[in-house]
Amino acid sequence: MKIALAVLVLAPALALAQAAPAPAAPATADQKATLQSIEKDLLTARADIISKNLGLTADQASRFWPVYEKYQAELKGIIDTQLQSVKKYAENYQTLTDAQAIELADATLDRDSSMAALRKKWFPEFQKILPGKVAARFIQIDRRLSLLTQLELASQIPLVR
C-alpha cells in the first residue's frame, strides 16, 4: 500500500537519526520531491479506497467528489504539518531537548484534534449530498484509513529517549 511506501521513505531518516551521532542532514530537493510524490500517492490511494467502499451511484458520485476534493485539500494541510513534525523529530532525534520533545507531543495532539475538527466540519456537508448512512460510512472509512496510516507511521517512529 502507498502508506507503507511513505513509511519506507521516512524510516531511513528515522533510523539514521537513531544511529547517527549528529542530526540528519536537511532533506535534498530529490527527497522533498519524493515525499511530495508519496503524499500525492497516499491521497490518491485514499480516494481510491473510499470510491471502492462507498458504493456511490453516478448521481451521488457527481456531487460527492467535488466536495471531497475540498475536504482533501484541508486534509493535505494536516498531513503536511505532520510530515514536517516527523521530519524535524528525525533530524533532531540524537540531540532532542525537552522542549523539542514537548513540541513533538503537542504536534501529535494537534494533529489528532485537527483531524477530528476536519471531520466534524465536513460531515454536515457530506450529509447534504449523500444519504445519512453513506455519509456515515464515508466518515468511518476516512477515520479507519487515518488510523491505519497513523499506526503504520507510529510503528516506524522510535519513542523519545
DSSP class of residue 159 equals P
* pLDDT (tens digit per residue) in 81-119: 999 999 999 999 999 999 999 999 999 999 999 999 999
* Domain span at 11: 2-156
Q: Is the dihedral of CA 149, 159, 17, 28 positive or negative?
A: positive
Name the band, by pLDDT with cuts 50, 70 and 90, for residue 43. Answer: confident
Is it the case that residue 28 has pLDDT exceeding 80?
Answer: no
Is it the case that residue 16 has pLDDT exceeding 50?
Answer: no
| Contact indicator for 129, 58 with CB cutoff of 8 Å | no
**Cell numbers found for residue 12:** 531511513
**Domain assignment present for 29:** yes
The count of domains in the chain is: 1
**Domain assignment present for 54:** yes
CA distance 37 to 20: 27
Is it the case that residue 21 has pLDDT exceeding 50?
Answer: no
CA distance 76 to 119: 13
**Which run of H or of E encompasses 48?**
helix 29-54
**Domain assignment present for 138:** yes
Residue 41 confidence (pLDDT): 73
* pLDDT (tens digit per residue) in 125-150: 999 999 999 999 999 999 999 999 99
**Domain assignment present for 161:** no
**Cell numbers found for residue 68:** 471531497
pLDDT greater at residue 10 or residue 92: 92
Q: Which residues contact 149 (CB under 8 A, 6 or more apart)?
A: 3, 42
